[in-house]
Amino acid sequence: MDVRSGTDFATKTSDFDLAVRQVENWIVQRMFEDISLTDVFTELSQKIDRTLFPLVRSHVTMRQMHPFIDHTDHTWNRTGELLTNSRPRTQVAEPNWTQSPLFYMIENVIDEYRCDLTSDEVVRRFPIFTEFKAIGGTDYLAILTPFGNQETAIKQQDGIISSWLTDRNGGFTDREIRALKRLVKLFHATARIFKREQTLQDVLSAYLGPVAARQVMEGKNQRGDGDVIQAVIWICDLRGSSALADQMEMAEYLTLVNQFFESMAEAVMAEGGEVLKFMGDGFLAIFPTSDRAGIADAAQRALKAARDGAASLARHPSEASKLQFGVGIHHGDVMFGNIGATERLDFSVIGPAVNMASRLQDLTKTLDASLLVSSAIADHLPIDWRRFPQQSVPGLKDPIDAFTPA
């Protein structure tokens, strides 16, 4: 009997080995499914605690190959409490991490670390051991698995580390330790598969945008793959960037441009727009429309994004608040898909409607307006517009109408 009343475990070696193999087979099966690593870890911890040996707590942490997230960790407790946390890359490491046994293992490249929590001297090593002892913890085992070449993996912190805590009197038995190591090895292999797939999705989303990334993940990865869709096209460009680049140090200029993108692009994404491409000191975004009824809504969100982005930029506590820009907005049919050379592709939009939005953005310079829209946008938004005289632009046979909010 376990410390928990009413819980029976396999005591015969044959029964115990069979129970371990059943859990191993379950892990292998999960490898071939669409998995949530936190769900698999939670289920694995429950299976161990219910069928193999007492487990009061388990924890897993893994660094993410993500532009914004440093690492994600997940904690399971027998009480049912689940804690999942992702730490941003810009956040300073907290003392509860730098003073933890897991950090100690990583810093000293220790693959396995077992601690007897019935020893007061051992408990004093790390603050969290006091918490473990308070919930009845008696024996602690942590296992670090680097992914790939160990030297490179340790340098890049590419791997996974998990810890396991029992509250049984006497701690883990030798048989249980051997079984736990077998199960952890399989789970860590599952984690590596998950991480590689998640990294692909995260990187594609960060560099292509969520919608384009989903298209590529679903198989539209050949040149010419794509669809003709209707969308509001949103093109923005920074003014006077050449002069700024000439006057400023490169690092300082890069920071300024990123602050500009931060204000404008995040305003677009907040309104449901898809940022497709950063082009030098400008960027291209779309607000897809499924039917004519959706044009007014997408146009309204695109206009709000331009206004909110301008307001955010003006409030920026740096020289970025003085930056000037131009935005061109149009609606029409675009080809949304793969374009490029045979071995170097991009997932973007092309077509006359994109050219029109680009021309409107160019006209913001000569018409002294930060925002210009076409009649395809103005006709769907019942606000006061200032209409400019028709403008002749290079590459277009007929002059175009341009509007800016009055």
Per-residue model confidence as pLDDT tens digits over 83-138: 888 777 666 667 788 899 999 998 898 999 999 999 999 999 999 999 999 999 99
- CA–CA separation, 389 and 359 (whole Å): 15
Rg (the chain; Cα; Å): 28
Over 217-275, what HEC string results? HCCCCCCCCEEEEEEEEEEEEECCHHHHHHHCCHHHHHHHHHHHHHHHHHHHHHCCCEE
Please give the CATH superfamily to which domain 13-207 belongs. GAF domain (3.30.450.40)
Residue 201 or 277, more confident:
277
**Percentage of residues of the chain with pLDDT beyond 70:** 94
Of the candidates 95, 113, 108, 3, the one whose C-alpha atom is nearest the C-alpha of residue 49 is 3
Instruction: Determine the pLDDT at residue 5.
Output: 41
Q: How confident is the model at residue 316 (pLDDT cuts 50, 70, 90)?
A: very high
Q: At what angle do helices 37-47 and 174-208 cross, to 10 degrees?
A: 170
- pTM above threshold 0.75: no
Of the candidates 263, 295, 288, 293, the one whose C-alpha atom is nearest the C-alpha of residue 273 is 288
- CA–CA separation, 216 and 210 (whole Å): 10
Over 29-42, what HEC string results? HHHCCCCCHHHHHH
- CA–CA separation, 113 and 110 (whole Å): 7
Q: How confident is the model at residue 198 (pLDDT cuts 50, 70, 90)?
A: confident
Report pLDDT digits (tens) over 77-97. Answer: 999 888 888 777 666 667 788
- Whole-angstrom CA distances from 356 to 71, 158, 232, 308, 350 are 43, 46, 11, 23, 11
Residue limits of CATH 3.30.450.40 in the chain: 13-207
Please give the CATH superfamily to which domain 220-405 belongs. Nucleotide cyclase, GGDEF domain (3.30.70.1230)
Residue appearing with tokens 């400008």: 282
Residue limits of CATH 3.30.70.1230 in the chain: 220-405
Beta-sheet pairing, 69-77 with 57-63: antiparallel
Q: In sequence order, which residues have a C-beta less than 8 Å from that of residue 169 and are 6 or more positions away?
A: 3, 138
- CA–CA separation, 340 and 373 (whole Å): 29
Instruction: Determine the pLDDT at residue 89.
Output: 64
Instruction: Determine the pLDDT at residue 87.
Output: 73
